[in-house]
Amino acid sequence: MIEVRFHGRGGQGAVTSCELMAQAAIAEGRYAQAFPSFGPERRGAPLQAFLRISDHPIRLREKIYEPDIVVVLDPALLASGGVKEGLKPGGTLVANTSKSVAEVRGECGFDGRTAVVDATRIAVEELGVPITNTTMLGALLKAVGLVKLESLKGPLETRFGPLGEKNWKALLRAENETVIEE
């Protein structure tokens, strides 16, 4: 089983990202869970969302404390250092930032496998808004192939309707522009 923890802010689409990935995994015949963790939040407040993907039924029903992968949608959250908390040895950090891998590692104190992409810039250029959820899915897929790229196309079209194609372009562009260092 692969466990992923997303860090974002209310309104950035972390919960939607998890749901889309879960739908793609299920379409491939796998098992998946996607769920948020937040209290009485407001737009812009930090939150976490969780994703599990497995080839076997998932019986766990708790938040993810030791993820294999951490995805950070808001670059400001990197400085807190909390995003790497519990990340398993050999885990992967996928971050939305305009900074280099070396800068990100220094900022959050993580020295493992790191993937970075300026998802905010891509989202603004492709979608016209700084909502990075689908853009970060492209980065996640390049860093760790959780599902086949094509498996996300259907969930994107269903979720976003006429905006599905723009989100697909943002996802593909992020996948292409993501930089990964071991």
Q: Are 68 and 3 in contact (CB under 8 A)?
A: yes
Per-residue confidence (pLDDT) for residue 111, from 0 to 100: 85
At which residue do the structure tokens 């039924």 appear?
57
Q: Which residues contact 61 (CB under 8 A, 6 or more apart)?
A: none
CA 126 → CA 9, 14, 166, 173, distances in Å? 21, 18, 6, 9
pTM: 0.93
Alpha helix stretches (DSSP H) within the chain: 14-27, 101-108, 119-127, 133-143, 153-160, 164-177
Q: How far apart are CA 127 and CA 89, in angstroms?
A: 35
In the chain, the domains with their CATH numbers are 2-181 (3.40.920.10)
Q: Tell me the sheet residues that pair with 46.
A: 9
At which residue do the structure tokens 């951490």 appear?
70
DSSP state of 114: E
Per-residue confidence (pLDDT) for residue 37, from 0 to 100: 80
* Ordered per-residue pLDDT tens for the chain, 182 residues: 999 999 998 888 899 999 999 999 999 999 999 998 866 556 777 889 999 999 999 999 899 999 999 999 999 998 876 898 999 999 999 999 999 999 999 888 888 899 999 999 999 999 999 999 999 999 999 999 899 999 999 999 999 999 999 999 999 999 999 999 98
